[in-house]
């Protein structure tokens, strides 16, 4: 029997942690808890969670600071929670490396659905038993992506991407030259179908920033239509 994925829930509200724990355990997950940012950072290397549910509004060390520290060494998916329906928080959270975002109060059932959707992107389900399709490397110009190892490079320089960022760029790289509307990006990358245009834009901007540091340009905006790979 496969081991259940572990979710680390980080929130200073013990009542909310109880609600989230119950929902996630009913959804088939193991749950670990942390009541503050420092405790969360201490638990990540020990627990090695499959995903972190992370509150933004915590005293002393908020969720954005925790995410920043986690991203220095780990690419574990992160779903943010916030008591403020503030677009600035939402965009900041996604651009810091978050994979999704929910505003309190939220439905525990929706949280479980979001967690499962993010993890599906992180670990795609195996294909039905059949002759395996031949694999071919994803590459164009200096851009290379290895879907088995979840790694990307610009030339010889590795560019570290989150799960969602990797899926986004891989979708464009598979069909170079095609202009993807935001709806098509949502279908191919965000299989839960509940993200906003601003969420997509934030992840695109984050991918661009990371490759710009490596000296590359990978995503082009086609105004009024959507996005395409920027490498001819």
| Domain ranges, residue 151 | 138-229
| Residue 157 forms part of a structural domain | yes
- Per-residue pLDDT for 117 more than 50? yes
Name the phi and psi angles at 135, rounded to 5: -90, 145
Domain shared by 14 and 112, yes or no = yes
Task: Tell me: pLDDT of 192 over 50.
Answer: yes
Shared domain check, 163 and 74 = no
In a domain, 1, yes or no: no
DSSP of 18-32: HHHHHHHHHTT-EEE
Report which of 145, 60, 51 is spatially closest to residue 100, judged by C-alpha positions.
51
CATH number for the domain spanning 83: value is 3.40.50.2300
Distance CA 11, CA 127 (A): 36
* pLDDT of 94 above 70: no
Average pLDDT over residues 109-113: 90
Q: Which whole number is the average pLDDT over 159-174?
A: 88
Domain end (from 122, 151, 166): 122
Q: Retrieve residue 128's tokens.
A: 């039905």
Give a yes or no: residue 132 inside a domain: no
129: pLDDT confidence band, cut at 50, 70 and 90?
A: very low
141, 160, 142, 140: which is closest to 150 by C-alpha?
A: 160
The model's pLDDT over 141-164, given as tens digits with 9 standing for 90+, comes to 999 999 887 889 999 999 988 878
The answer on 212 and 171 residing in a single domain is: yes
What is the pLDDT, as a whole number, of residue 190? 72
Residue carrying structure tokens 């239509």: 225
CATH number at 187 reads 1.10.10.10
User: Residue 126's pLDDT is what?
Assistant: 46
Strand 51-55 and strand 30-34: the pairing is: unpaired
Cα angle 115-120-123, degrees, rounded to a multiple of 5: 120
Residue that terminates a domain, selected from 75, 91, 122: 122
Do 225 and 155 reside in the same domain of the chain?
yes
Candidates 214, 69, 96, 215; CA nearest to 165 is 96
Residue 68 domain-assigned? yes
The answer, yes or no, to whether residue 1 has pLDDT greater than 80, is no
18, 115: one domain: yes
Number of structural domains (the chain) is 2
Residue 85, in any domain of the structure: yes
Q: Based on the domain organization, do 96 and 142 belong to the same domain?
A: no
Radius of gyration for the alpha carbons in the chain, expressed in angstroms and rounded: 18
Q: How far apart are CA 28 and CA 172, in angstroms?
A: 33
DSSP annotation string for 65-116: HHHHHHHTT----EEEEESS--HHHHHHHHHTT-SEEEESS--HHHHHHHHH
């Amino acid at each position: 029997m496969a081991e259940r994925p572990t979710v680390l829930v980080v929130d200073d509200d013990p009542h909310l942690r109880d609600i989230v724990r119950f929902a996630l355990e009913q959804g088939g997950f193991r749950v670990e808890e942390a009541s503050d940012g420092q405790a969360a950072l201490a638990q990540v290397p020990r627990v090695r969670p499959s995903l972190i549910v992370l509150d933004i509004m915590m005293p002393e060390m908020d969720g954005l600071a925790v995410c920043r520290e986690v991203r220095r060494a780990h690419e574990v998916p992160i779903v943010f929670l916030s008591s403020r329906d503030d677009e600035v928080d939402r965009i900041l959270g996604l651009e810091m490396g978050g994979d999704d975002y929910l505003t309190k109060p939220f439905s525990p059932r929706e949280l479980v659905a979001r967690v499962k959707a993010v993890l599906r992107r992180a670990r795609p389900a195996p294909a039905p038993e059949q002759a395996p399709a031949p694999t071919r490397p994803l590459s164009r110009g200096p851009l290379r992506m290895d879907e088995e190892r979840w790694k990307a490079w610009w030339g010889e320089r590795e560019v570290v991407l989150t799960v969602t960022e990797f899926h986004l760029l891989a979708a464009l790289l598979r069909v170079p030259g095609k202009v993807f509307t935001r709806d098509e990006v949502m279908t191919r990358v965000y299989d839960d179908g509940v993200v906003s245009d601003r969420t997509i834009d934030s992840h695109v901007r984050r991918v661009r920033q990371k490759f710009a540091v490596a000296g590359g340009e990978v995503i082009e905006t086609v105004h009024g239509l959507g996005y395409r790979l920027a490498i001819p």
